[in-house]
Structures are given as C-alpha cells and as structure tokens.
Amino acid sequence: MGTKLVLTAALLALATPAFAADIIAPAPVKAPVPVPIFSWTGFYIGAHGGGAWSKWTGMDPADPTATWSSVTASGGVAGGQIGGNYQISNVVVGLEGTGAWSSVTLSSNSPFAGGAGFIFSLKNDYIATVAGRFGVAFDRVLLYAKGGAAFTRDKYYVNNGLAGALAGSASGSFNRTGWLAGGGVEWMFMPNWSVRAEYNYMGFGAITELPVTTGNLVATPANVKLNIQTGTVGVNYHF
C-alpha cells in the first residue's frame, strides 16, 4: 500500500508541469505599430546657389535696316527661397518665391570704340521669381515642374576712356518682368531637411533701353530682349 502511494505521488508530480502548461493562456500577440506615411505638406525656407547664363538680343528701333544681334554672359547666383506644399495622395502642389544676387556680367567684346581706358559693363544684378509648383512624390523623393513670373534688372555702365573735353560716360538701370518655366528633384534626406537640384528658363520681352549720358558720349535707344537660364542646388528646412 505504501509503495502504491509513493508511485502515485511521483506520477502526479511529473504530470503537474505538463498539465499547468496546458492550462496557461498564450501571451497576446501585439499588433504591429503602423508606420506613419510621409507627407510633403507644410511650409519651408531655404537657400540655393549655382550658375546663370544671360543672352541679350538688341536692335536699334530708329534704323529701318537694323537686324537683331546678341551678346551673352554668365556668372553665379546665390539666394534664398520660401514656400509651401500641399500633398494629395502622391500629388504635391505648392507656391514658392525666390530671390538671388547675381554676378552675371558682360564686360568685354563690346561693339563700341573708345580710348585705352574704355569700360563697358552690362549685367543682371538680381533674379527673383514667384512660381507655382506641381510634382509627384515617391515617398521622400519629389519630382516637380514649376512656372510663374520672373524679375531681374539690366544695369549698364560705359566710359569712353578719353580725357578732358572728350571724356564721356553712360549708365542706366532697367527693371524687367517676364515668365519662368523649370523643374527639379528634391530629396528629404532627414527629418525636416531636404536637398534639391533645379533648372529654370526665364524669358523677358523687348523693352526700350536708353542709358543716361554725360560728357562726350551719345547713346541711342535700343529694343532689348533677354533670356536667362539658371542651374542651382539648394537646401530647405521644413516646418
């Protein structure tokens, strides 16, 4: 009898862990944490820099036999931008304003004659734009096109390099308004920060330009058209 009791107790002891395991409820499985969907919606501010290329095409309106002739120049640009985006599905629309200092300057190959110290300078000293943007987002990469208004200024300075009664100079400043078309790619490389590369073409219709002269220098009016191309890279901080 005693032996049977001992065996029974031993069997019960061996069976208890297995029985307990059978009645313990399995641990609940946690639902996966949803990954937030990235959105380009919001405001941003940034800076950009790069190169610019200007082409002036002019004609003397008083000369019936005159034909259009062109000169070109290049230089750097550096400035900033501010704007906002709104994303619907993977479509992004926005509005952006930019302003940049420009060093685009033509200072040689002038068609004018003068003394040994002759100086001729024609430049665009700033470039500004207000444009809408339309793009397609691939998560943190945005491909976009843009179009809108562009603003710049032609600045002239001429000195004929002569002395005394023969000395003369001319100067003028002419603001322009035109149109812009361009596009680029932007990458959100870390939270709130993106980098971008962009190309823009700007067209400005013909305006009549007549610099103010002093001394022994005469300037005639000219009808002058202008186009500017820019290639820039930039960085934006998104709020």
Q: What does the block give as tokens for 205?
A: 């219709």
Q: What does the block give as tokens for 230?
A: 């820019």
Mean pLDDT of the chain: 86
Cβ 105 vs Cβ 123: under 8 Å = yes
Regarding the domain delimited by 42-238, which CATH topology (the fold level of the hierarchy) does it fall under?
Porin (2.40.160)
Q: pTM (2 decimals)? A: 0.81
Q: Give the pLDDT confidence of 217-229 residue by residue, as tens digits.
A: 888 888 999 999 9
Ordered by start, the domain boundaries in the chain are 42-238
In angstroms and rounded to an integer, the radius of gyration of the C-alpha atoms of the chain is: 35
DSSP 164-186: GGG-EEEEEEEEEEEEEEEEEEE
Angle ∠(215,216,218) on CA atoms, nearest 5: 105
Select the more confidently predicted residue: 69 or 151. Answer: 151
Q: Give the pLDDT confidence of 159-168 residue by residue, as tens digits.
A: 888 888 889 9
Q: Give the pLDDT confidence of 65-85 residue by residue, as tens digits.
A: 778 889 999 999 999 999 999
32: pLDDT strictly greater than 50: yes
Dihedral angle, C-alpha 137, 143, 147, 152, nearest 10 °: 130
- What mean pLDDT do residues 154-177 have? 91
CA atoms within 13 A on the CB side of 196: 27
